[in-house]
Amino acid sequence: MRGEMICIGDELISGRVEESNSRYAAARLWPLDIGLAWVVMVGDEPAAIQEAFTQALARSDYLIVSGGLGTTEDDLTAAEAARFLGLPLAEHPQKLQQLEEMLRPRGRDLTPEIRRMAAMPAGARPLDPRSAGFALMSADGRPLYFLPGVPLEFRRIMEHTVLPELAARAGAGALARRELRVYGLPESEVGRRLAGLTQNFPGAGLGYYPVFPEVHLILSQRAGNEARAQAALEPLERAVLERLEGYVVARGGASLEQGVAGLLTARGLTLALAESCTGGLIGHRLTSVPGASDFLERGLVVYSNRAKVELLGVSPATLEAHGAVSAQCAQEMAQGARINSGVDVGLAVTGIAGPTGGSAAKPVGTVFFGLSDGRGTQTHQRRFHGDRAMVKAQAAETALDLLRRHLEEHAPVRGS
C-alpha cells in the first residue's frame, strides 16, 4: 500500500506554522510497510484543495488529510471533501451529541461555530468524540481519513484509529506500540545507535522524530494477535534501552515530569525549587502533573542577586567572587532551597539564557545546576545552544533529568 497525505492551511504554506503532522505520520506508517509516497501542502483555497484531492485519488491506496476542520469560515476541508466526492454535506447526529456532552460540563452552549465540527459528507464516520475528524470510503473502496491539524489531536486519532485500521487492511495483523522519550542525544546519534536493530525482530518497526528538546521513539510490533504483538514488543524495548544507555527519560507515553513526580511520590520525598534563568519553567512543568502538592513544597524564582541572598541565604561573598552564574552559587541556592523549606531535596538552576549577558568565560547558554539532599550537594555545568526560549527549555529539561537520574541511582535519604 502506498498512501498520500494532504496538509491544508494558509498558515502552513505561509510559513507561520511549522507542519509536523506529516513527519509524525510518515514515521509511524513506514515501519508497517504502508508508508506515505506523497505529502502535499495546500492553502485554504477551494480550487487547490480540489486539485490535491484529484491527484491523490488518482495514485494512492489511501489518503490522510490534516487540517481545515475547525470552527471558522476558512475551515473548508469537510465541504470540499463532500463536493469532491459528490456527497451532500450534513450534520452528523452522533457528532452533535458528542459535542453537546463535551460542552455541557463546561457550561457552554453549542454555538453555530462549534456546530461546524459536526458537518461532514453523508455516510462519513466520526473518528474521535473530543475532536473534529471523520473517515469514509471512496467509490472504489479506498479509505479516506480527515483529521484535525492540531498535532495533539492528530496524533491521538492516528494512534487509536488510523494506524490500526490501515495495518489490518494491509494484512499486518495486530499492532502493538510503545513510546519512549530520549534526552541528551541528538537525533542523528539516536539513529546511529539504533541502526539495524529491527532486523533482529521480524514484524518490528521503529520511528523516531524530534520534539524539542527531546527525541521521541515509537516502537511497533506486528503479530497475529494482540497478545503475541505485546509479548514480542518486550525484547525490542529492552534492546532499545540497552543501546541508549539511560538516555530514555520517559516511557509509555508519559512525560519526564510525570516520571520525576512518580519517583518522588513513591519514595515519599519532598522538593523545593530555586530557579533563576528558567523563570519558573521547572515548577510549571511539575505542577502540570496531578497530585504535585504531594511532593512539591515550593518553587522560588530568584532572578536577582538580592533575591538569592534574602530568600536562599546565598553568600554575598560568593556572588562577589564567582558571580550568580557559577557552580558555587548553584550549590548555595540548592542548599538554601532545601534547608529553608525543610524538604528532602533542593533543586536549583542559574545561567545565561541570552541573547545578551554572556562573556568569553561564560558565554550565552552557560547554565549551572545544584541538587541537594541529605547526603550533600552536587553541581553540574552545561552549555546550551539556541535562542532564549531554547536555552530555557533545555535548562528545565536538564534539571528534571538530573533529578530523575539521582532518584533512580540512589536510595532515598529523608530530612535536612
Q: Which residues pair with 8 in a beta bridge?
A: 42
Q: Which domain holds residue 291?
A: 266-409
DSSP annotation of 375:
T
Residue with grid cell 532518584, as numbered in its chain: 407
Q: Are residues 180 and 165 in the same domain?
A: no
Q: Does one domain contain both 80 and 129? A: yes
Is-cis flag, bond preceding 363, omega within 30? no
Q: What pLDDT is attached to residue 413?
A: 57
Pairing outcome for strands 271-275 and 296-301? parallel
Tell me how far CA of residue 296 lies from CA of 69, 142, 377, in angstroms.
40, 52, 19
CA distance 210 to 182: 9
pLDDT in tens, 200-235: 998 888 888 788 999 999 898 888 888 999 999 999
Q: Are residues 166 and 188 in the same domain?
A: no
Output the domain CATH number for residue 244.
Answer: 3.30.70.2860
Instruction: Quote the CA–CA distance of 223 and 231 in Å, as a whole number.
Output: 9
Same domain, 130 and 16: yes
Residues 270 and 394 in one domain: yes
pLDDT of residue 103: 87
Are residue 103 and residue 197 in the same domain, yes or no? Answer: no
277/368 Cα distance (integer angstroms): 10
Residue 416: its pLDDT value, please? 47
Is there a single domain that holds both residue 232 and residue 344?
A: no
Asked if residue 114 and residue 13 are part of one domain, the reply reads: yes
Is 182 in a helix, a strand, or coil? strand
Looking at the structure, tell me whether residues 163 and 210 fall in a common domain.
Answer: no
- Taking the C-alpha atoms of residue 407 and residue 416, their distance in angstroms, rounded to an integer, is 16
Residue 70's nearest CA partner among 115, 34, 117 is 117
DSSP, collapsed to helix, strand or coil, labels residue 330 as helix
Q: Is 183 helix (H, G, I), strand (E, B) or coil?
A: coil
Cis peptide, bond prior to residue 213, ω within 30 of zero: yes
Among 172, 191, 215, residue at a domain's last position: 172
Q: How far apart are CA 411 and CA 416, in angstroms?
A: 15
Which region, left, alpha or beta, applies to residue 127 given φ > 0 means left and ψ of -120 to 50 means alpha?
alpha
How far is 120 from 81, CA to CA, in rounded Å?
8
Q: What are phi and psi of 170, to 5 degrees?
A: -80, 0
Q: What ranges make up the beta strands (E) of 224-295?
A: 248-251, 271-275
Q: Say how many domains are in the chain.
A: 3
Q: Which of 172, 205, 235 is the last residue of a domain?
A: 172
C-alpha cell at 8: 491544508
pLDDT tens, residue by residue, 125-139 = 999 988 899 999 999
Residue 274's CATH number: 3.90.950.20
Same domain? 3 vs 110: yes
- DSSP for 98-140, please give it: HHHHHHGGGT----HHHHGGGEEETT-EE--TTS--EEEE-TT
Domain end call among 120, 149, 172? 172
**CATH code (residue 84):** 3.40.980.10
CA distance 199 to 339: 52
Residue 415 lies in a domain: no
Which grid coordinates are listed for 156?
491521538
Phi, psi of 221 (to 5 degrees): -145, 130
Query: What pLDDT does residue 208 have?
Result: 81
Q: With a cut of 70, which residues of the chain have pLDDT below it?
A: 172-173, 411-416
Q: Are 308 and 314 in contact (CB under 8 A)?
A: yes
Q: How far apart are CA 42 and CA 14, in angstroms?
A: 10
User: How far is residue 44's CA from residue 77's CA, in Å, rounded to a whole number?
Assistant: 8
Sequence-ordered list of residues with C-beta below 8 angstroms from that of 253, at least 6 positions apart, any chain? 179
Joined grid coordinates for residue 314? 546565598
Helix (H, G, I), strand (E, B) or coil at 390: helix
